[in-house]
Structure 1
Amino acid sequence: MFSNWFLKSFRILLLPFAFLYGGIVIFRNWLYKKNVLKSTSFGLPLIGVGNLSVGGTGKSPMVEYLVAHLKQKYKVATLSRGYKRKTKGYALANERTTALEIGDEPMQFHRKFPDIPVAVGEERIVAIPQLLHDRPETDIVILDDVFQHRAIKPGFNILLTDCNNLFTRDFFLPTGDLRDQRSSYKRADVIIVTKCRTDLSITERDKLIKEINPLSNQQVFFTTISYGTPYHITNYTSFDLNQQTEVLLVTGIANPRPLKEYLESLIHTYTMMNYGDHHIFSIDDWRDIKKRFEGIDAEHKVILTTEKDAMRLMKFDSELQSLPFYVIPIEHKFLFEQGTMFDDIVIKFIENFKQSV
Structure 2
Amino acid sequence: MRRLRLLLFPFSVLYGAIVFVRNWLFDKGYLKSTSYSFPVICVGNLSVGGTGKSPMIEYLIRLLKDEYKVATLSRGYKRKTTGFLLADEHTTASDIGDEPLQFYHKFKNDIQVAVEAKRTVGIETLRNLSISLEVILLDDAFQHRKVNAGFNILLTPFYDLYANDFMLPAGNLREPISGAKRADVIIVTKCPTEVSAAERTRIVKKLRPKAQQKVFFTTIAYSESIYSESEELLLSSLKASEFVLITGIANPKPLLQHLNDQQLQYTHLEYADHYHFSESDIQTIKQKVGDKRMLTTEKDFMRLKGRLDKLYYLPIEVAFLAGEAEFQGKVKLFLES
Corresponding residue number in structure 2 for 1:309: 300
Secondary structure at the aligned position of 2:199 is classed as helix
Runs of 5+ consecutive residues of structure 1 not aligned to the other structure: 1-6, 353-357
Corresponding residue number in structure 2 for 1:220: 215
Corresponding residue number in structure 2 for 1:120: 115
Q: How far did residue 50 of structure 1 move?
A: 0.2
What TM-score comes out, normalization by structure 1 length? 0.91
**Contact 1:244 1:267 (C-alpha < 8 Å) held by counterparts:** no
Q: How far did residue 236 of structure 1 move?
A: 4.0
Secondary structure at the aligned position of 2:235 is classed as coil
Runs of 5+ consecutive residues of structure 2 not aligned to the other structure: none
Q: For the residues of structure 2 that align with 1:163 and 1:273, how far apart are their CA atoms? A: 25
1:275 aligns with 2:271: yes
Q: How far did residue 133 of structure 1 move?
A: 1.4
What amino acid sits opposite 1:324 in the alignment? K
Q: Deviations over 1:53-85 (max 9, x none)?
A: 001000000000000110001001100000100
Q: How far did residue 13 of structure 1 move?
A: 2.3
What is the root-mean-square deviation in Å for CA atoms of aligned residues? 1.3
**Contact 1:232 1:324 (C-alpha < 8 Å) held by counterparts:** no
**Contact 1:227 1:330 (C-alpha < 8 Å) held by counterparts:** yes
Secondary structure at the aligned position of 1:19 is classed as helix
1:328 aligns with 2:276: no
Q: For the residues of structure 2 that align with 1:194 and 1:8, how far apart are their CA atoms? A: 26
Q: For the residues of structure 2 that align with 1:148 and 1:215, how far apart are their CA atoms? A: 19
Secondary structure at the aligned position of 2:68 is classed as coil
How many aligned residue pairs are there?
Answer: 335
Q: Superposition pairs for residues 92-103 of structure 1, below 5 Å?
A: 92-103=86-97
1:21 aligns with 2:15: yes
Q: How far did residue 136 of structure 1 move?
A: 1.8
Corresponding residue number in structure 1 for 2:330: 345
Q: How far did residue 339 of structure 1 move?
A: 1.3
Q: Superposition pairs for residues 168-207 of structure 1, below 5 Å?
A: 168-207=163-202
Q: For the residues of structure 2 that align with 1:310 and 1:264, how far apart are their CA atoms? A: 21
Q: Deviations over 1:116-159 (max 9, x none)?
A: 10000000111111111112211000000010011001000000
Q: Deviations over 1:313-346 (max 9, x none)?
A: 13xx1x53xx32110111110002x212111110
1:245 aligns with 2:241: yes
Q: For the residues of structure 2 that align with 1:87 and 1:8, how far apart are their CA atoms? A: 39
Pairing partner for 2:205 from 181, 206, 210: 210
Segments ≥4 residues shifted beyond 4 Å: none
Q: How far did residue 289 of structure 1 move?
A: 1.3
Between the aligned residues of both structures, percent identity stands at 50
What amino acid sits opposite 1:346 in the alignment? V
1:41 aligns with 2:35: yes
Q: How far did residue 21 of structure 1 move?
A: 1.3
What amino acid sits opposite 2:271 in the alignment? Y
Q: For the residues of structure 1 that align with 2:6 and 2:168, how far apart are their CA atoms? A: 10
Q: For the residues of structure 1 that align with 2:284 and 2:224, how far apart are their CA atoms? A: 26
